[in-house]
Amino acid sequence: MAEFLLELLSEEIPARMQARAAEDLKRLVCDGLKAAGLSFTDARAFATPRRLALVVDGLPVARVDVSEEKRGPRVGAPDQAIQGFLKGAGLASLDQAEKRDTGKGEFWFAVLTKKGGPTADALPGVIEAAMKALPWPKSMKWGSGTMMWVRPLQSIVALFDGKVLGGEIALGGQMAPIKFADTTRGHRFLSKGELKVSGFADYMAKLRAAHVILDSAERKKIILEGAEKLAASAQVALKADDGLLDEVAGLVEWPVPLLGTIDGQFMDVPPEVLIVSMKTHQRYFATTKSDGALATRFVVVANNVARDGGKAITEGNERVLRSRLSDAKFFWDLDRKTTLESRLPALKNIVFHAKLGTQAERVERITKLAGKIAKFVPGADAKQVEQAACLAKADLVTGMVGEFPELQGIMGRYYAIGEKLPAAVAEAIGDHYAPAGPNDRCPDAPVSIAVALADKLDALVSFWSVGEKPTGSRDPFALRRAALGIIRIVVENKIRLPLRAFFEADDLMEFFAERLKVQMREKGVRHDVVDAVFALGGEDDLVRLLARVEALQSFLGSEAGKNLLTAYGRAANIVRAEEKKDKGLAAKIVGAPDAALLEQVEEKAVVSALAAVERTLGPALKAEDFAGAMAAFAGLRAPIDAYFEKVTVNVTDRPDLRLNRLKLLNQIRTTMDSVADFSRIEG
């Protein structure tokens, strides 16, 4: 067994593309190996800012011959079908095919033998096909070449069993092809010359000696541990940011964390501004004090080992940050000279959506909607809700949000506090976009709840009204996120909000049902249980709906619930089968059975048990005691079991008795279906 090593060295690959590209390269090469009849034991992919690498272990040195059969048309089929079969199989005539009786007639078969040979002969084609198929989000041409790649390619290492593969990749145009080789380069600044490698272990060792750490996980560990150590030495704590850590690890091949200082004159600017400026523009890590407040220190990760220990690099980054924060402080000071309310007319100049008007028109809709929602939110002050909804989008026309769009809402809150608006109004402005994701904090103050719900409901209803609905993976207006946000706000705060009062489209309620299933599945709730409750129809109070779902799932998990589900299935299946035979039966078996036709004790026992259930069921459902409603069913199992053991339903010589007994089974079904559609429960 042998090893295959591939490295594609290029100019800097954008950090956001590296991990996906490495996995795509691994997938495409592995698929190519399998298609060539080559098995292997393991494949690992790596990425740095300048290279993609792949090592495949356990490849055979030579491929064995492989036989493959292709079945063709029936013997005697039209000539056109025969010729198509011969062409597809690469045969000159039917003399090269076999005739076989399959038991369903005679058919032509082609037995094709793929010759084996040295594995090294197949690998160049696999490499070329993988490189051409690699789906970069953005790619480019360079020089006079025609080949598309993310950045200009410089060299290709292609080794199999320690030997260079014969082959090259054509760049097109007047550019010379890149030949497969056994040489690469180390760090752009910290190493010189070419590195000749003989295999993966040698490749890794020589790269490390040339200041390149190939494994991104190792680079992240070095960055994190180094940054935490520096922060601790300054008696501050590193602010966790996994996304930034991933990105920075994709910007450096030899990470060197350094500690810098934020100029004190900027510390009166809101911390969110400082953090976003450092992260978005400079890729710096923020630090915090023991009380959680932002500290004056930051961590920058260099891609170099400086002779002065990084002093000049740190000072340079501090100067760049000072310039960035000067702009932020300018906007902060300037924005506070104008009130949020006086900015509202400017919203008429911002188009929200071509079919839905301006941000000013959207604010009008949200304000009206928030007022209606406030009636269902305990403790929500109507005037404060209206004021917060009216001002929620005003910061869109501030200089700070123009510079940092991700701070919308956050800056509005700060400006509202500066204007000494009611605290509940300021918090609602800051909270109205939340929750933006599953791990985001959910608004819990009454005014914030009303405004956040209005913002999301307006987005859903408005885009739905103009036909802009999510399709497949496409959701450009984040409507799935909006629906999940509404569900979280309503459920976590137990808001009794009748959703249908705010939209007409039935398919929008179905959309909510699908999102609810997604969220509940993450909490261990079965999707079929949610289906069973939604199937009742007319339920748009998510709090009540989920209470019913939880009670049903709990009941089905009990022995009584499992037993009753079996009994329900027997009753429903008999009725369903008879309804298929007689299309008019459904109308005939509606209502309670005729007491005069109840002949057997077991029939009367079921009727008596159903009556007891119905006496308990109505009050329990009205009181939203769904656990009590489920518990009422527990007494049905024994009489239903006895019924099926002793009573014959299809009494063919007595149509009236048969119909009455089907009525009784239908009554079992309809009584249970008044709580949930048990037919939707799997199993």
Q: Which residue has the tokens 């591939």?
A: 6
**DSSP three-state, residue 85:** helix
Higher pLDDT, 51 or 473: 51
**Rounded mean pLDDT of 180-195?**
96
How far apart are the C-alpha atoms of 500 and 175, rounded to whole Å? 65
**DSSP three-state, residue 396:** helix
Does residue 40 carry a pLDDT above 80? yes
At position 604, the amino acid (one-letter code) is K
How far apart are the C-alpha atoms of 164 and 206, rounded to whole Å? 17
Map 278-341 to HEC letters: HHHHHCCEEEECCCCCEEEEEEEEECCCCCCCCHHHHHHHHHHHHHHHHHHHHHHHHHCCCCHH
How far apart are the C-alpha atoms of 211 and 49, rounded to whole Å? 13
**11, 175, 133, 5: CA torsion to nearest 10:** -60
- Angle (CA) 127-133-137 rounded to 5° is 125
Does residue 66 carry a pLDDT above 70? no
Neighbours of 412 (CB within 10 A): 28
| H helix or E strand, kind and range, residue 8 | strand 2-10
End-to-end Cα separation, the chain, in angstroms: 49
How far apart are the C-alpha atoms of 359 and 394, rounded to whole Å? 9
In 3D, which of 391, 388, 404 has the Cα closest to residue 443?
388
Q: What are the tens digits of pLDDT across the range 624-664? A: 999 999 888 888 888 998 998 999 998 888 999 999 999 99
Token readout for 158 is 């292609």
**Rounded mean pLDDT of 381-401?**
97
In 3D, which of 388, 318, 8 has the Cα closest to residue 181?
8
Taking CA atoms, 251 is separated from 6, 205, 304, 313, 525, in Å, by: 21, 21, 12, 16, 42
At position 192, the amino acid (one-letter code) is K
Residue 45 β-bridge partners: 54
| H helix or E strand, kind and range, residue 625 | none
- Angle (CA) 205-207-209 rounded to 5° is 70
**Rounded mean pLDDT of 538-566?**
88
Residue 97, pLDDT score: 87
Does residue 363 carry a pLDDT above 70? yes
**Rounded mean pLDDT of 158-163?**
96
Backbone angles phi, psi at 178, to 5 degrees: -95, 115
Residue 374, pLDDT score: 97
Residue 99, pLDDT score: 87
Beta-sheet pairing, 178-181 with 153-160: parallel
Q: What is the side-by-side strand order in the sheet with 98-101?
A: 66-74, 106-114, 98-101
Sorted by sequence, the CB contacts under 8 Å of residue 113 that are 6+ apart come out as 65, 66, 67, 68
Per the CB < 8 A criterion, the answer to whether 508 and 467 are in contact is no
**DSSP three-state, residue 149:** strand
Token readout for 621 is 């459902």
**DSSP three-state, residue 81:** helix
pLDDT class for 438, splitting at 50, 70, 90? Answer: confident
Beta-carbon-side half-sphere exposure of residue 467 (alpha carbons within 13 Å): 2
Sorted by sequence, the CB contacts under 8 Å of residue 410 that are 6+ apart come out as 270, 272, 430
Longest Cα separation, the chain: 104
In 3D, which of 552, 576, 578 has the Cα closest to residue 565?
552
Per the CB < 8 A criterion, the answer to whether 45 and 86 are in contact is no
Per the CB < 8 A criterion, the answer to whether 275 and 282 are in contact is no
Residue 324 β-bridge partners: none
Residue 361, pLDDT score: 97
Per the CB < 8 A criterion, the answer to whether 632 and 620 are in contact is yes
At position 50, the amino acid (one-letter code) is R
Per the CB < 8 A criterion, the answer to whether 168 and 144 are in contact is no
Sorted by sequence, the CB contacts under 8 Å of residue 497 that are 6+ apart come out as 373, 376, 453, 490, 541, 542
Per the CB < 8 A criterion, the answer to whether 267 and 321 are in contact is no
Per the CB < 8 A criterion, the answer to whether 180 and 188 are in contact is no
> What is the chain's mean pLDDT, rounded?
93
Does residue 64 carry a pLDDT above 80? no
Q: What are the tens digits of pLDDT across the range 457-500? A: 999 999 999 999 998 888 999 999 999 999 999 999 999 999 98
How far apart are the C-alpha atoms of 386 and 424, rounded to whole Å? 12
Backbone angles phi, psi at 136, to 5 degrees: -65, 140
Residue 211, pLDDT score: 97
**Rounded mean pLDDT of 355-380?**
97
Does residue 414 carry a pLDDT above 80? yes
Per the CB < 8 A criterion, the answer to whether 530 and 513 are in contact is yes
Residue 458 β-bridge partners: none
**Rounded mean pLDDT of 242-259?**
96
Residue 505, pLDDT score: 76
**258, 264, 268, 272: CA torsion to nearest 10:** -10
At position 104, the amino acid (one-letter code) is K
